[in-house]
Amino acid sequence: MKFAIIGGGPAGLYFSILVKKWNPAIEIDLFERNGPDDTFGWGVVFSDKTLSYLKAEDEPSYEAITERFATWDNVDIVYRDEKITVGGNKFSGIARIEILHILQHRAAELGVNIHFRSPILDIDSFTGYDLLVGADGVMSETRSRFAEDFKPDISTRSNKYIWYGTRHLFNGLTLTFRENGAGVFAAHSYKFDKTTSTFIVECDEETWQQAGFAEMDDASTRRYLQQVFHLDLQGAELLSNNSKWLNFLLVRNRNWFITQNKKPNTVLLGDSLATVHFSIGSGTQACSRRFYRAFPCLKNSHSFSRKWPGGG
């Protein structure tokens, strides 16, 4: 059997690892548009529950990931200079580039053929495969190509957000509210290694317009937000990694798999299937839970070339 995976993020990589562990004879081609050292954003977060899944499914990658973790068990809320701490919420963070490197190495070790810098120009070119996995993100071309079958529901949320890093360490999952003449800003922050934290800033459309961000370049935007959160950053700068203002896209699909005649059966994973708002945790964590549920379907199927379990 031959599987094709579009997208080399955590969802696509980890799925390829599970498939190879289950059946090493399956040939897997994974296509990633970027290079092995390219990533956008900063850190990702895992709960203890998700870590237990990682350990149960593939201990070598679990060991490599946990060796590089920063951990905490508190959630902090900062409002009008008062900090409220809620304990007993154990989370762990890791740099996104670190987890990508770990999963890339593990997948290659198991025999996955990873094709970097390989954007897919034609979704219909995969006729020689038994299964096509669309793990190609929130703007999924796989989902768009088969939208009539997956029946996606995509809505654009009104708030703006921008994803930065900082060398100031936030020793807990921290939600900070600050206000100035333009309006109210919220920061979602957490450390993910010994030197760096994720720092996501969110505001509503009116505040964004009043602040004048539409006319600001990257450096000006960072200076402005550093001033808004100067008490919290304690003099540390905000770090950019292709950071841009975005509106959150809420993605849902009625179907996560489709069966096709004369074409490979197709499934969606990760953000192409469903997105999770950064205020309630990690999208990486959520997508890992989804494919733990999906993988038993794959293992119980007898013929991918004709029918995906549950399909028509």
**pLDDT digits over 127-172, tens only?**
899 999 999 999 999 999 999 999 999 999 999 999 999 999 998 8
Q: What is the pLDDT of residue 54?
A: 85
Taking a C-beta distance cutoff of 8 angstroms, is the pair 74, 89 a contact? yes
Q: What is the pLDDT of residue 162?
A: 97
Q: Encode burial over 188-206: b for 16+ CB neighbours within 10 A, e otherwise.
A: bbbbbbeebbbbbbbbeee
Pairing of strands 131-134, 2-6: parallel
Q: What is the pLDDT of residue 299?
A: 64
Q: Which helix (H) or strand (E) holds 20?
A: helix 10-22
Q: How far is it, in rounded angstroms, from Cα 134 to Cα 153?
A: 16
Q: What is the pLDDT of residue 166?
A: 97
Residue 289 pLDDT > 70: no
Lowest-pLDDT range of 74-83, 108-117, 207-216? 74-83
The average pLDDT across 57-78 equals 90
DSSP result, 59-83: HHHHHHHHTT-EEEEEEEEEETTEE
Q: How far is it, in rounded angstroms, from Cα 298 to Cα 279?
A: 32
Q: What is the pLDDT of residue 312?
A: 31
Q: What is the pLDDT of residue 48?
A: 79
Residue 72 pLDDT > 90: no
Q: What is the pLDDT of residue 41?
A: 75
pLDDT digits (tens, 9 = 90+) for 200-217: 999 999 999 999 999 999
Q: What is the pLDDT of residue 310?
A: 35
Name 220's Cβ contacts closer than 8 Å, sequence gap at least 6. Answer: none
> Tokens for 130?
């038994």
Q: How far is it, in rounded angstroms, from Cα 5 to Cα 18?
A: 13
Lowest-pLDDT range of 94-98, 111-115, 197-201, 299-303? 299-303
Q: What is the pLDDT of residue 71?
A: 85
The average pLDDT across 291-300 equals 63
Q: What is the pLDDT of residue 119?
A: 94
Q: How confident is the model at residue 90 (pLDDT cuts 50, 70, 90)?
A: confident
Pairing of strands 238-239, 197-203: unpaired
The average pLDDT across 162-186 equals 95
Q: How confident is the model at residue 266 (pLDDT cuts 50, 70, 90)?
A: very high
The average pLDDT across 115-136 equals 93
Output the CA angle 60-37-238, nearest 5 degrees: 105
Q: What is the pLDDT of residue 291?
A: 59
Q: What is the pLDDT of residue 286?
A: 60
SS3 assignment for 145-164: HCHHHHCEEEEEEEEEEEEE
pLDDT digits (tens, 9 = 90+) for 11-20: 999 999 999 9
Residues of the chain with pLDDT > 70, as a percent, come to 89
Residue 35 pLDDT > 60: yes
Pairing of strands 113-115, 27-31: parallel
Burial class (CB in 10 A: 0-12, 13-18, 19+), 277: middle
Residue 283 pLDDT > 70: no
pLDDT digits (tens, 9 = 90+) for 222-244: 999 999 999 999 999 999 998 99
Residue 302 pLDDT > 90: no
